[in-house]
Structures are given as C-alpha cells and as structure tokens.
Amino acid sequence: LYTAPDSCEGRCEEPYSEEDECHCSTECERHRSCCGDYHRHCQPEGFSRSRDAISDEDLLHISEQLYKADHNKARPTDITINPQYQASPDETGDQEDRSPQPLYKYVNEELFSKPTYASFIKLLDNYQRVTGREEDVTAEELREQDNFLKEVMKTELMKKLFAFLQKKNRYGSEQEFLADLKEMWFGLYSRGDGEQDSSGFEHVFSGEVKKGKVSGFHNWIRFYLLEKQGLLNYFSHNFNGPWDTYPDVLGLQFSWDGFYKEVGSAFIGSSPEFEFALYTLCFLARPGRTCHLSLGGYSLSIQTYPWTKSTYGNGQKYIATAYVTSP
C-alpha cells in the first residue's frame, strides 16, 4: 500500500531509514525527524509518552516565561530606531533604497559589555559569508563557541528553557543539553558541493551570501554593527511588530556590501540568549513547522527548518534556519 512519504499514517514504529523524508518510530523526536502528524497517528509510549509532547499551550506558556526572564534586553532608552519607509508586499523585491537615513539612530553600546553580548559579538567575525567556501575553525573560535554557550547557560532565561525541556524528557542533564546545543547550532555542514561551509549559527545570526543574495541574517546586533561600519544600507521595512518596548520585531529590506535581502525579519533589542532560546525551543518542538508563541500578550510565530542532507550523533538534525515570520 502506498502511504504519503511525509505522513505517519500506517507507518508507526516503522524502522528508521535514511531515505525516508520523515520518521515515525519513538526515536524520531530525539532525532527531530518526526512527520508532522506523528502524534496524531502514533501516540507512542516510552520516550514520547503523550505527556512528554510539547503542546501548543505549552509553547505559549514557556515563551511568556522566557520573555519575562530576558533581563539583559535593551531598555526603551537604550535604542532609538528610525524605520522611515514601510514597503508594501510588491515593493520588497525591487531593491530600491527608500530610507535615506540609517535604521539605528542610537544604541547604548554599554549593552555590548554584558557577558552574553560580548561573547556573542566575538563569534560574528568567525565566518566566510559566501557559501561554498570551507570554514576553517580555529582552536580560538572553538573556545569562543564554548564561552558563548557557557555565558548563556548562566542566565535565568536559558535555565528556564532547560528545565522545561528536561521536564518534557528531551534531555537528562544540562551537560547533555549543552553538548546538543553546540552541535545543532555550531556543527558544520555543506550548503555547497561538499565543503563544510555553513552552520545554523552562521546562517541565522551572522548571515551568508548565496547566489548573489543575502541568506539568513536575522540579528539586530549584527545589523547595527555593520550599518555603523558603513557596510550595510537599510532600504525599508515591511513589518513593524505590535510591541511598544523591546524586544520588538521588524521585517527589513537592506543591502550588505551590494548583496540584497528582500525580507530579513529580526528581533530588535533582545538579548542574544533570548533569540537563541526561542529559536532552539521552536526547532526542538516544531522542526520544519510554524511555531506559535506569545510575548507580552502578543502572538508571534517562528519558522525553523532542519538541515536534511547530513546529521550528527544518532541521526540528529542540524539547524538550517530559524526566523520570525511577519504577517
């Protein structure tokens, strides 16, 4: 009998095969490779007992908790932005600079001396932005990765995320969580012809250039630092979130060294650990699907995709991308 390759109908407990588009055995949650209808059809016992499933309600609750725990976010007086022109959907692709002024009028750079910000910023210059060029990871860069993870894990926000995931049977210890974070975010894979040229962190936070266009690049700190250096030109925005404090969300059009980004959504004024936590949460709970959250009483959705062409550990997936979806 033919069954849809992306469904678990009639496939529960089917043995794992690398050739399958998605999987339906109890191990698929650990590997983040379950089909979208896995819980509906299989309702398995063991690791994926229904009480360990992360419900939509769980996501709304934990995201509000993480929002409240972002003690390192910018205060309203720390950042002044100048969004200028709001582009309509049919204008985002025309590569026209409709905003003569920079996006950032003022950023209190004392923020950047906080340990999570300082360790995050150190990571940003570790990458070759053009896909297809092998990444040469030095011992110093590996130390910088470890230091960033160590600093974010000290925060109340990341401790809350770990406690939630541990309660849901995703991780047995903080060490296990930390080791998996390092692989899923910093593990290298190939977006080109076999070169180890990309990682989730590089794509999402630092940005890449692929086929003459900006790919990824969803971070406000990276944007501000490049704009300040004159390497990035803000064109317009197509979405401005409902928040009247930070973190806010913008959908952006910009040019990076002449390479264009049609819509680059980003949190504005959040701490590095806040973005890192939300993207991780959504990647673990809803890989490849829209993840519905709540921040300060407002709805927000994050889309993540796993990298499907290579795995690590026992078949686990790397992060291909993660970003806020704007309406």
pLDDT digits (tens, 9 = 90+) for 118-147: 999 999 988 877 776 777 889 999 999 999
Query: What pLDDT score was predicted for residue 133?
Result: 75
Listed by start position, the domains of the chain span 1-43, 56-325
Give the DSSP H/E element, type plus range, for residue 57. helix 56-68
How does residue 46 score in pLDDT terms, banded at 50, 70 and 90?
very low
Collect all residues with Cβ–Cβ distance below 8 Å to 143 and sequence separation of at least 6: none
| Residue 293 · residue 304 · CB < 8 Å | no
pLDDT reading at 51 higher than 90 = no
How does residue 30 score in pLDDT terms, banded at 50, 70 and 90?
confident
E-assigned strand segments in the chain:
79-81, 104-107, 208-210, 213-215, 232-240, 248-256, 259-268, 290-295, 298-312, 316-325
Average pLDDT in the 94-115 region?
A: 97
Q: Where are the alpha helices (DSSP H) in 124-271?
A: 139-153, 156-167, 174-186, 200-201, 220-228
Average pLDDT in the 74-80 region?
A: 97
Residue 229: closest CA among 97, 111, 104: 104
Query: What pLDDT score was predicted for residue 118?
Result: 98
Residue tagged 């080791």 (tokens): 179
Tally Cβ neighbours within 10 Å of residue 177. 20
pLDDT reading at 286 higher than 50 = yes
CA distance readout (Å), 128 to 55, 135, 182, 269, 298: 38, 7, 19, 26, 37
- Reported as a single tens digit per residue, the pLDDT across 139-196 is 999 999 999 999 999 999 999 999 999 999 899 999 999 999 999 999 999 887 778 8
CA distance readout (Å), 186 to 70, 295, 302, 308, 319: 23, 27, 20, 16, 9
Q: What percent of the chain has pLDDT over 90?
A: 70
As a whole number, the mean pLDDT across the chain is: 90
Average pLDDT in the 281-293 region?
A: 93
Residues that are catalytic: 203, 218, 261
Is 1-43 assigned to CATH 4.10.410.20?
Answer: yes
